[in-house]
Amino acid sequence: MDVMTRWLDPDEQRTWRAYLTSSRALMETLDRELQREAGMPHAYYEILVRLSEAPQRRLRMSDLAEASGSSRSRLSHAVARLEAAGWVRREECPTDRRGQIAVLTDDGFATLAAAAPGHVEGVRRHLFDALSPAQVDQLRRISETLAAHLTGS
In a domain, 11, yes or no: no
Instruction: CATH number of the domain at 90, please.
Output: 1.10.10.10
In a domain, 5, yes or no: no
- Residue 151, pLDDT score: 83
How do the pLDDT tens digits run along the chain, 153 residues long? 567 999 999 999 999 999 999 999 999 999 999 999 999 999 999 999 999 999 999 999 999 998 888 888 999 999 999 999 999 999 998 887 778 999 999 999 999 999 999 999 999 999 999 999 999 999 999 999 998 998 877
- Residue 70, pLDDT score: 85
Reported pTM: 0.87
CA distance 149 to 134: 23
- Residue 145, pLDDT score: 95
In a domain, 16, yes or no: no
3-state DSSP of the chain: CCCCCCCCCHHHHHHHHHHHHHHHHHHHHHHHHHHHHHCCCHHHHHHHHHHHHCHHHEEEHHHHHHHHCCCHHHHHHHHHHHHHHCCEEEEEECCEEEEEEEEECHHHHHHHHHHHHHHHHHHHHHCHHHCCHHHHHHHHHHHHHHHHHHHCC
Domains contained in the chain, number:
1
Radius of gyration, CA atoms only, the chain: 19
In a domain, 132, yes or no: no
CA distance 76 to 33: 24
Side chain identity at residue 84, one-letter code: A
In a domain, 97, yes or no: yes
In a domain, 40, yes or no: yes
Which residues span the domain enclosing 89? 25-119
